[in-house]
Structure 1
């Protein structure tokens, strides 16, 4: 019997080994190649995405470069501060000081400042030359004096305030390179020659001829201009100067004198510490470039962390802005990638039917985002760098007063911005790519692709997150910190940010449900609206991205509008006029910066006012200020040199003259300040209710509505004084040191037999406690008391109870009396008014322009409460409205391009161009309205919370005598919903988008007729 045998089966081939990393790399390589092809194929869509990502990138990159080029580091400041020398030194006035590495930022070494007397510098002398000689001998170097001074010049009626750098650049041209630079002409060689800088020419100085300059001591010098150059003062910010002269001797008293230390060897940290014991603050090139260790510096607690935080400040700020860029770009570009993914559905379905995995399909979409994101970020960064360079070059030519250092590209902030831009594009594409995991291949191939059914848990999660976020935002905003800081204070900012994020995420999770509900509600709507909403409900991926972009912009806008409207209503409700309606005031520029004013200032103001309208009246308001005379205050110039100051004070009964001058001295060794002798003080802006105001009799009587007795006293050369008693506050000692009063500190004028006792002379303040008096003369003036509120009423000669919060009036004196007593005065402001009624708008505008052209000061006209600048509000509304409009139009344009085949079907069955236009308009308008409504509701939460927080505290007291001890009582918050402004993003912007979409449908689709 035959046996049938079966040959053995060959063993199955072994499965090929999988190289996961290799497959991943190969997959991304193919995806990126396809993405590059798609970018070139669809140039219009690619350019749109690149533009939306690149524009914010170039703005942030350019802004960082401009900031970095303007914000100089300590090393970059070296040539501006010390030229080519080894160090620069300043003298502190005979008191030991702590050594510093960088005086521009205030980081001290070796503890905080001391009050011990410095070791005298041998041969210090009293002038710049002997100072330099003594310092050179002490440091083993050549000491070169340089000075900083100020002053003013007048050209016509215009007063030009000047910054003056004093340096002997003709003798020390090499050493001073960097501090000054000569462009044409020569350096000054005498005390009456000067070089004008490009900044000075920009400010209006002549580039040749002569120039009369009044310095801070009041001395007039006529300079011959011998050249044009540049010069700088390295303070906390780098300041360009207007004039370069030889070192000014007056800078010892009225400016700043410094000394360059020029020698071959560097000035070490040990030498810096040694010279500090002589009262010399030395900034060394060597120490800045090679700073000592933290252990050597012995920094106080917290100082090093402050320095570290300051160093990282720009990077942190850039990171925050980059995160905002990420959110903005993700919302704006999201619709474009959603539509792009929808356009590729058929191609992706074919790939999936041939075995492509979900990961490979997602790579196809993400690769496009990666290519476009990198391209856009690089384009934006390059354009930002070039734009910043152009801005800096333009500023150097046309705005020399804007100071820039070396062109600086901050690598870390720019890298953060570029990286976030790329990440934002990838995240924007990641959302539609997630839907490819549920791609219905059969439906897509049949042309019936719709979004998968929405998950029930999604809107529930959205409601929960939005509710928790709203609660968190309201709690964080309403939280009030206690007397002592706890861990809750640190958590509040995190809760606020987390709440806001949860609120937005929750609202976005609700969008699909809202689209489905809108599609169902629109069953009875017109055809175009019904089809648009049904299409949005069926294609939720594309529509959700569009609604999310609109929601983000509208939420921000609605929050801003609610806060602005509420704050405006609150300020309008609590507004107190600073002047009688229609009157104006002008505060001289010198009053704000402390410099001297042109003696013709008041006359110039009067001439301008009468030139505009001869009927206008100008009233000057001035204070007695004995410290404003040239050289009145003598600064110490050596360890044993005291400070000498003139005085003019009223002496209260039972008070010694020294007590009236040494205000604030403690009562006992550890007691509170002694203010019991506070009275009138002729030192301009003095302590509360002690200023002496000067004016003509007519002005004073009219302004303060004085009676006949007070008027007679003024005419007789007497004073009208505040008759209220002094307010004695309760002093509380703070745990960290110092004393805090329970209320305002107000002086008192004692009238004995109808007269006030006054004294004048000089007070010398040395190292010992208390002043030494000299040249004392006493006098008594007739006085008539009036209520203090009369001299400090809101509608009186100065607005409010104080000169803009700086002082209170204690007495009135006539101009004639001040002159007869040889009392110098300081002009505080001028009042301009029309006796016929309120100042007209035309006159106010002409006065404002004329005063600005002449640089005479700050001008203000009382017109009642004025809301926020309408131009600024229009800019904000327009910008955010533009974002909403762009997001809507991008989605509409791309979706219209996607539905071209459907439009062909419409045309084949008889649809007209109007029908197609109506459908496109309905798509744009409906999505715009839905996104704007949701965004408005989301923005209401932080907007109302912030409005309640901002408007629950009372405004600062402005009526005389009002004062609230401790924390002010809360008031009912003011919340205003600006419905009219909100109609712009909710109605106007979607309507505009619908109109543009309607106009965009211009040609009929191509339809092929079947012949058989």
Structure 2
């Protein structure tokens, strides 16, 4: 042990002196390793701080209560662990009767219960009307302390008094004012007696007051806060057996064994999480190792004479390796400590910034020391791994050649390229195996493994690629030829940089293909409700709506719009009309909607504007049938013209039948339709509706004739809400990608740009530092000053382009494979198996940006930053 430590102690002393001597290279290594450690540390601290676990959430969810018990209709039994909101399953039937307060109290040994009701209440604000979260609860009860934090005023003392939060005061309310509840006489509006913040939600408008202030009806879920003695796990299970979920303070603080049903679910979730974490950690480790590798390669080359002297005086190859690895231990250890410390500070500074953008309150500032120890170990391990290859090469150098002033590199071995080909083949095979799994979730695991194996195989093949490109560069201009041959000659320095760029591009391309293909599937499966650019206005009030006023609003807010009235079968009051169109007991249309305000429309000569998927000939045929007083039925089952059975039943809002059902067999013109998401079942003529005794009323407005902007739609929607607070204005804009998808693509490009720039610039400046003797020789024999800039820009271009091309090739392996489980098994509106079985979309703009734009940008940056002239000295070593 003492001999082992003595050997390492000497190596560490030499490494410390070398780090202080080569400060520039040492700082570069520190930055390369400390930055990832800093970023991961800050992210971990922020995630732990914002993640309020069950134990931390007890006071904000229970106040001073011992437990929270919830019951709802239709639940017979519950299986849960300590937190029913995170891990619980239930079973029951519609006839199940929930527990009463007396039954719950009796099960808990006569404990006192405080009832709580939660729901939504519509209120009038400065901007119009909106729903706010409403809680019915006696906030003066000591049990509720901690659920809300009073900032002004007092707690409500009786029904009719409420507290509101700051988010609602920003909507036009203030202390001692009245809360304008929609649909309630002003005299009954509750008075605001306090301002209080919910302990969980931060920016959503909330109001709270005694039960009876808002919710007079029995809620779907009934909740009680339990005062008194702690609620034990046996009592929790007793309530579970009767259909209640329980959050108990005592159970959370002293958790029992996890039930098998819950453990199975948690284990499955943990397996997926572990797989993702392992993939991310391994890829990040590879990236950091490759980025820091060139610096250690140059450092080992600078130490080559010292190591040769060590070998000449009796030093062994393990001792030479130990000297190089000791440098990694010193720099990696310092970088890990600096990164962790700076990450904690950055996380602390970012907490208020993120809190201001979060809808919930964060927990206390938390530093997960065990996590950070692992992150620091990650930083140290990445440094040691980055130095492993240079250390091995340094221990095998030709001592005589180095002491004579020549390069001591040995001839490259064929083992690495052969192993690289085998790994690359294994990666392709694993990706193909994962892709053959179709839509199975487990198919992603071999594909994730294929990504890692393929990248490792590519890393081992980079030196071969560098040699091949160097041989093909004989016809290139001087600067490009010099850069290519220098990169091929000094592979230990260039290969890690090219591999780092390639690994970055591979990850970005793979994720880009996955995201783009998923979006292609979403776009292909999107079914428009209306024709492109068309709009429709509907309102739940139906016949009671002032459609003339609605029309004036639309015409005023959408200049140039053509607004037409839509009529349909009406229903008295708040009831509904049930319509059935069938032939031989089979419906003509399996799926339909009420986007136009009714599922059976009435027209005397034209189909409503905006119907989707109807050909011109079918439209003319349908309009002739309506003009003749007939019926037009839509189908997605291939039905043809002929008699159909029409059945119409009208019910009130409680489901009670109104009048006698209409049953008739009528001739129909059947029109195939391409989309069934929002289309009506049929369009009947006024004459046929009168003959059948059907009630025809206005049900909506169609809007067309102009391009409706988002601002015009928003303005019209606000105006329509003033006429009917339930009115909606829908405009068909086709498939609009989710903004998060665009953000992901920009993040991928930005991440790729940063890592590519970092890797390329690092390799370029290290190469220039290592090539100072050669560049000085060029200057001495008459090379122009700009030659050095040209060499630098060419080297950056070479590293960037070669790395990007390799990365694109390798990124296609997992990228194409992951599209099979991602898009291969998905529901489509046409039914199972409808549409394409697989979607593949390559984001070529992203690929071109990585392969062309970023290398050129890097070359321009290098060319502008590099000095044209070297200082004149007697000799450059």
TM-score range, shorter chain: 0.7 to 0.9
Correspondence 1:33 to 2:20: no
Could you say what secondary structure the match of 2:247 adopts? strand
Correspondence 1:580 to 2:509: no
1:924 maps to which of 788, 796, 810 = 796
Could you say what secondary structure the match of 1:212 adopts? coil
1:377 maps to which of 336, 346, 352 = 336
- The corresponding residue for 1:141 is 111
Correspondence 1:935 to 2:828: no
Correspondence 1:778 to 2:659: yes
- The corresponding residue for 1:223 is 190
Q: Deviations along 1:885-905, whole A, 9 cap, x unmatched? A: 221111111221223333333
Correspondence 1:545 to 2:491: no
Contact (CA 8 Å) 1:721, 1:784: kept in 2 or not? no
Contact (CA 8 Å) 2:605, 2:626: kept in 1 or not? no
Could you say what secondary structure the match of 1:243 adopts? strand
Q: In structure 2, how many angstroms separate the alpha carbons of the residues matched to 1:44 and 1:826?
A: 78
Correspondence 1:518 to 2:443: no
Could you say what secondary structure the match of 2:190 adopts? strand
Contact (CA 8 Å) 1:136, 1:142: kept in 2 or not? no
Correspondence 1:287 to 2:251: yes
2:413 maps to which of 438, 455, 478 = 455
TM-score if structure 2 supplies the norm length?
0.81
Q: Counterparts in 2 of 1:332-371, with a 5 A limit? A: 332-371=291-330
Q: In structure 2, how many angstroms separate the alpha carbons of the residues matched to 1:106 and 1:978?
A: 38
Correspondence 1:243 to 2:212: no
- The corresponding residue for 1:303 is 262
- The corresponding residue for 1:991 is 856
- The corresponding residue for 1:801 is 676
- The corresponding residue for 1:536 is 487
Bigger drift between 323-332 and 225-234 goes to 225-234
Contact (CA 8 Å) 2:598, 2:680: kept in 1 or not? no
Deviation at 1:541, TM superposition (A): 0.4
Q: Counterparts in 2 of 1:318-717, with a 5 A limit? A: 318-396=277-355, 398-399=356-357, 401-480=359-438, 493=444, 495-560=446-511, 577-584=528-535, 609-616=554-561, 649=578, 692-693=598-599, 702-703=608-609, 707=623
Deviation at 1:315, TM superposition (A): 6.4
2:871 maps to which of 977, 988, 1006 = 1006
Contact (CA 8 Å) 2:181, 2:189: kept in 1 or not? yes
Could you say what secondary structure the match of 1:227 adopts? strand
Q: In structure 2, how many angstroms separate the alpha carbons of the residues matched to 1:857 and 1:438?
A: 80
Q: In structure 2, how many angstroms separate the alpha carbons of the residues matched to 1:229 and 1:612?
A: 39
Correspondence 1:893 to 2:765: yes
- The corresponding residue for 1:258 is 223
Deviation at 1:29, TM superposition (A): 2.5
Classify 1:290/1:710 alpha carbon distance in 2 versus 1 (closer, same or farther; 3 Å): farther
Q: In structure 2, how many angstroms separate the alpha carbons of the residues matched to 1:211 and 1:185?
A: 15
- The corresponding residue for 1:767 is none
Deviation at 1:162, TM superposition (A): 0.8
Residues matched between the structures, number: 849
- The corresponding residue for 1:113 is 91
Q: In structure 2, how many angstroms separate the alpha carbons of the residues matched to 1:777 and 1:978?
A: 57
Q: In structure 1, how many angstroms separate the alpha carbons of the residues matched to 2:518 and 2:226?
A: 56
Deviation at 1:152, TM superposition (A): 1.9
Classify 1:317/1:624 alpha carbon distance in 2 versus 1 (closer, same or farther; 3 Å): farther
Could you say what secondary structure the match of 2:189 adopts? strand
Contact (CA 8 Å) 1:150, 1:163: kept in 2 or not? yes
Q: Deviations along 1:122-154, whole A, 9 cap, x unmatched? A: xx6xxxxxx579948974232212211212223
Classify 1:225/1:454 alpha carbon distance in 2 versus 1 (closer, same or farther; 3 Å): same
TM-score if structure 1 supplies the norm length?
0.71
Classify 1:761/1:888 alpha carbon distance in 2 versus 1 (closer, same or farther; 3 Å): closer
Classify 1:694/1:56 alpha carbon distance in 2 versus 1 (closer, same or farther; 3 Å): farther
Correspondence 1:73 to 2:53: yes
Deviation at 1:186, TM superposition (A): 0.8
Q: In structure 2, how many angstroms separate the alpha carbons of the residues matched to 1:56 and 1:607?
A: 59
Q: In structure 1, how many angstroms separate the alpha carbons of the residues matched to 2:846 and 2:657?
A: 67
Deviation at 1:938, TM superposition (A): 2.1
Q: In structure 1, how many angstroms separate the alpha carbons of the residues matched to 2:133 and 2:775?
A: 72
Classify 1:832/1:29 alpha carbon distance in 2 versus 1 (closer, same or farther; 3 Å): farther
Q: In structure 2, how many angstroms separate the alpha carbons of the residues matched to 1:196 and 1:401?
A: 16
Could you say what secondary structure the match of 2:413 adopts? coil
Q: In structure 2, how many angstroms separate the alpha carbons of the residues matched to 1:410 and 1:822?
A: 69
Deviation at 1:250, TM superposition (A): 2.5
Contact (CA 8 Å) 2:508, 2:752: kept in 1 or not? yes
Classify 1:292/1:583 alpha carbon distance in 2 versus 1 (closer, same or farther; 3 Å): same
Q: Deviations along 1:355-388, whole A, 9 cap, x unmatched? A: 3332232222222322333333333333333333
2:778 maps to which of 881, 906, 915 = 906
Deviation at 1:981, TM superposition (A): 4.8
Classify 1:947/1:314 alpha carbon distance in 2 versus 1 (closer, same or farther; 3 Å): closer
What is the alpha-carbon root mean square deviation over aligned residues?
A: 5.0
Q: In structure 1, how many angstroms separate the alpha carbons of the residues matched to 2:200 and 2:237?
A: 24
Could you say what secondary structure the match of 2:362 adopts? coil
Classify 1:61/1:627 alpha carbon distance in 2 versus 1 (closer, same or farther; 3 Å): farther
Deviation at 1:880, TM superposition (A): 0.9
Q: Deviations along 1:625-653, whole A, 9 cap, x unmatched? A: 99996xxxxxxxxxxxxxxxx87656999
Could you say what secondary structure the match of 1:159 adopts? strand
Bigger drift between 133-142 and 499-508 goes to 133-142
Contact (CA 8 Å) 1:58, 1:380: kept in 2 or not? yes
1:163 maps to which of 125, 133, 138 = 133
Contact (CA 8 Å) 1:568, 1:867: kept in 2 or not? yes
Correspondence 1:196 to 2:154: no
